[in-house]
């Protein structure tokens, strides 16, 4: 974390709202009525940008007029620490001039402000063209005319009264405290991206995108031993409205060891109660014996492993070296794809990318360069078959169209290739989690996200989790602690030997996938069913200081 981000995050948690900054946008009043940008006005402004760019010599231009609404509710125990309503509104203009990209953004959303920014973008492109050795080549995209798309939601979270949100969080906190938790930090994040995109290709696309993420940490402290343990929520961020929090029974999944897991709807209070009990249990659970284990990985855990070991290495900009100075490059080099025989995983491993899955964080109508969203294969029967590519990269892998996974996290960030949803297809045969555990002699069942770290070419990784259960001779025997597994991507995915069926398929997600310089965040989901990996190296992470 950079110092600037730390200071801003610290300010939010402490209840100091007086920090307008770039991390979250500007705070706005709680009573701001929910409203949409006017598409007609947007079209006029967009045309101003496109004409100004063309007038200065741009061969291509696109403009994004963005209004980004964020609402955050921060609570701890019986207190509301902060409620932030943030709005960020402005325009980003991207151009190609002399074969080179240029970008400028402004919060002066007037015809004059926009025209000036468009001219600046062209000036930047021209200044850099002098040292450009690889002129930009775009694959074609149809002009879609004037179209719109909205996240299909049942209940707009921005229209739910603040008091209802506060009541939900505080009641979950109280339930956890009543079960003996010492501390609860519980937050709710809601995002609404109102984006108007237009380009010189003839698209005028108006999109209204919603995301929601409830998340808590329940902590148990044993003052006598000085130990503390924290159990995070088993929720997932989703591309949904407030209906995600209705906890409807049809979305609950009965897990092993009396656990309750959640699909497309989440019961916060029930999970908080379980969290308090489990945090206390963690204080005395036995420490893992290091060695090789069969790992049974639950979807809300496995999603992060998919993200890091499959999602990132198959980003074409990483493969080509564009991210070499920050996120890194990739072991999944072009020769491995060209040869069509790189065994990324065992032959039951089928991994697909998409920007269309219902309820997912990645779902949109069009990406941030006006390409219609779709689904495509990355790994087929264990073999590497494709990457994630956008308009200026698709020609490199002989594709005639972009995959539609270009994204910018704000009007003032330049769009670039970002990870779509990347998901592991469920097993074809009927097979439940209990069936899977029955087949394990010496293993660990891991749930939820924990510590995660992977190298810059995505070979070597280490993952923790939220909860760990020992499996002995086909049965869960109890909770264990201090577990982390270390492996190598190709070795790990080739040790995948069983995947539960589609009944167990659900989405993991993250709001804060980081990439790029200046660093941008992106929200992405990863679907999977519970999956088993045989003989994975587990280390013990307990230390004394």
Partner 1 sequence: MAILSKEEARQILEKVLSFASADETIVTLNGGNGGNIRYARNTVSTAGKQENTSLAVQSSYGKRSGTSTINEFDDASLQKVVKRAEEVARLAPENPEFMPALKPQQYQESKTFYQSTADIRPEDRAKVAESSIVPASASDIVAAGFLEDNAGFSSMMNSNGLFAYSQDSGLDFTVTMRSTDGTGSGWVTRDFNDFSKLNAAEASQIAIEKALQSRNPKAIEPGKYTVILEPAAAVDLLQNMLYNMDARDADEGRSFLSKQGGATKKGEKIVDERVQIYSDPFHRDVPFRTWSGDGLPQKKTSWIENGVVKNMFYDRYWAQKKGAEPVPSPSNFVMDGGNASLEDMIKDTRRGILVTRLWYIRTVDPQTLLYTGLTRDGTFYIENGKIKHPVKNFRFNESPIIMLNNLEAMGRPQRVDGNMVPPLKIRDFTFTSLSDAI
Query: 287-302 in b/e burial notation, b at 16+ Cβ within 10 A?
Result: ebeeeebbbbbbbbbb
State which of residues 205, 240, 302, 414 lies at the interface with partner 1 (CB under 8 A). Answer: 414
State which of residues 250, 335, 398, 542 lies at the interface with partner 1 (CB under 8 A). Answer: 542
In this complex, which beta carbon is closest to partner 1, that of residue 393 or of residue 423?
A: 393
CB of 426 to partner 1, least distance (A): 29
How many chain residues are in contact with partner 1, going by CB under 8 A? Answer: 98
Strand pairing partners for 60?
A: 96
What phi, psi does 434 have (nearest 5°)? -65, -40
CB of 357 to partner 1, least distance (A): 27
User: Rounded to whole angstroms, how far apart are CA atoms 379 and 95?
Assistant: 34
Residues 434-453 that bind partner 1 (CB under 8 A): 451-453
Q: Is 38 in the site for partner 1 (CB under 8 A)?
A: no
Residues 223-262 that bind partner 1 (CB under 8 A): 223-228, 230
C-beta separation of 417 from 404 below 8 A: no
Per-residue tokens: 381: 């029967």
On the question of a cis peptide bond just before residue 72, with omega within 30 degrees of 0, the verdict is no
At residue 36, the 3 state secondary structure works out as coil
Residues 289-328 that bind partner 1 (CB under 8 A): 320-326, 328
State which of residues 462, 495, 497, 534 lies at the interface with partner 1 (CB under 8 A). Answer: 462
Q: Is 30 in the site for partner 1 (CB under 8 A)?
A: yes
User: Rounded to whole angstroms, how far apart are CA atoms 541 and 229?
Assistant: 14
Beta-strand runs (E) in 52-199: 60-76, 79-97, 100-106, 145-150, 183-199
Per-residue tokens: 265: 């709807």
In this complex, which beta carbon is closest to partner 1, that of residue 331 or of residue 511?
A: 331
Find the Cα–Cα–Cα–Cα dihedral 174, 179, 183, 187, rounded to 10°: -50
CB of 63 to partner 1, least distance (A): 14
Contacts 24+ apart (CB under 8 A), 82-85: 82/12, 82/13, 82/15, 82/17, 83/30, 83/162, 83/166, 84/12, 84/17, 84/24, 84/27, 85/27, 85/28, 85/29, 85/30, 85/32
Q: Is 518 in the site for partner 1 (CB under 8 A)?
A: yes
Binding mask 468-497 for partner 1 (x = CB under 8 A): --------------x-x-x-x---------
Whose CA is closest to 405, among 380, 384, 377, 375? 375
Binding mask 84-113 for partner 1 (x = CB under 8 A): ---x--x---------xxxxxxxx------
In this complex, which beta carbon is closest to partner 1, that of residue 251 or of residue 456?
A: 456
C-beta separation of 157 from 208 below 8 A: no
Q: Is 535 in the site for partner 1 (CB under 8 A)?
A: no
CB of 464 to partner 1, least distance (A): 6
In this complex, which beta carbon is closest to partner 1, that of residue 256 or of residue 464?
A: 464
CB of 128 to partner 1, least distance (A): 4
Q: Is 335 in the site for partner 1 (CB under 8 A)?
A: no
State which of residues 256, 464, 509, 527 lies at the interface with partner 1 (CB under 8 A). Answer: 464
Residues 152-211 that bind partner 1 (CB under 8 A): 166, 182-183
């Amino acid at each position: 974390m950079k110092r600037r981000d730390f200071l801003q995050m610290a300010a939010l948690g402490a209840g100091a709202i007086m920090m307008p900054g770039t991390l979250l946008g500007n705070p706005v009043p709680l009573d701001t009525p929910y409203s949409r940008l006017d598409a007609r006005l947007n079209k006029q402004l967009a045309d101003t940008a496109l004409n100004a760019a063309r007038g200065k010599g741009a061969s291509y231009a696109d403009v994004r007029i963005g209004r980004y609404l964020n609402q955050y509710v921060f609570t701890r125990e019986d207190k509301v620490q902060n409620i932030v309503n943030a709005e960020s509104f402005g325009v980003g203009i991207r151009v190609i001039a002399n074969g080179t990209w240029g970008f400028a953004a402004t919060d002066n959303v007037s015809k004059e402000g926009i025209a000036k920014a468009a001219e600046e973008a062209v000036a930047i492109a021209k200044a850099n063209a002098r040292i450009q050795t690889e002129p930009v080549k775009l694959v074609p995209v149809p002009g879609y005319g004037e179209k719109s798309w909205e996240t299909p939601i049942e209940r707009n979270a921005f229209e739910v009264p603040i008091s209802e949100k506060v009541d939900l969080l505080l009641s979950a906190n109280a339930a956890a405290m009543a079960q003996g938790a010492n501390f609860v930090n519980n937050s709710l994040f809601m995002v609404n991206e109102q984006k108007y995109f237009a380009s010189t290709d003839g698209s005028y696309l108006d999109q209204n995108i919603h995301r929601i993420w409830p998340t808590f940490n329940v902590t148990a402290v044993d003052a006598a031993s000085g130990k503390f343990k924290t159990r995070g929520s088993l929720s997932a961020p989703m591309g949904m409205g407030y209906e995600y929090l209705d906890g409807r029974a049809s979305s609950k999944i009965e897990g092993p060891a009396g656990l309750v897991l959640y699909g497309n709807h989440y019961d916060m209070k029930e999970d908080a109660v379980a969290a308090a009990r489990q945090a206390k249990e963690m204080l005395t659970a036995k420490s893992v014996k290091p060695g090789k284990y069969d790992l049974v990985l639950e979807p809300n855990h496995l999603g992060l492993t998919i993200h890091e070991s499959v999602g990132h290495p198959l980003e074409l900009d990483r493969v080509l070296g564009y991210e070499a100075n920050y996120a890194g490059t990739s072991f999944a080099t072009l020769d491995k794809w060209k040869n069509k025989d790189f065994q990324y995983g065992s032959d039951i491993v089928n991994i697909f990318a998409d920007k269309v899955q219902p309820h997912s964080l990645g779902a949109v109508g069009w990406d941030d360069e006006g390409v219609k969203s779709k689904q495509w294969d990355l790994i087929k029967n264990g073999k590497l078959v494709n990457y994630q590519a956008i308009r200026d990269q698709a020609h490199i892998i002989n594709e005639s169209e972009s995959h539609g996974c270009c994204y910018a996290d704000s009007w003032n960030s330049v769009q670039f290739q970002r990870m779509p949803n990347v998901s592991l297809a469920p097993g074809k045969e009927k097979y439940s989690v209990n069936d899977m555990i029955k087949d394990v002699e010496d293993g660990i069942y891991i749930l939820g996200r924990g510590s995660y770290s992977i190298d810059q070419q995505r070979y070597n990784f280490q993952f923790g989790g939220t909860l760990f259960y020992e499996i002995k001779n086909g049965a869960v025997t109890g909770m264990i602690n201090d577990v982390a597994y270390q492996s190598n991507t190709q070795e790990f995915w080739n040790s995948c030997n069983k995947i539960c069926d589609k009944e167990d398929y659900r989405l993991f997600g993250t709001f804060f996938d980081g990439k790029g310089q200046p660093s941008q965040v992106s929200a992405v989901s990863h679907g999977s069913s519970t999956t088993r990996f045989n003989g994975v190296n587990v280390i013990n992470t307990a230390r004394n200081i």
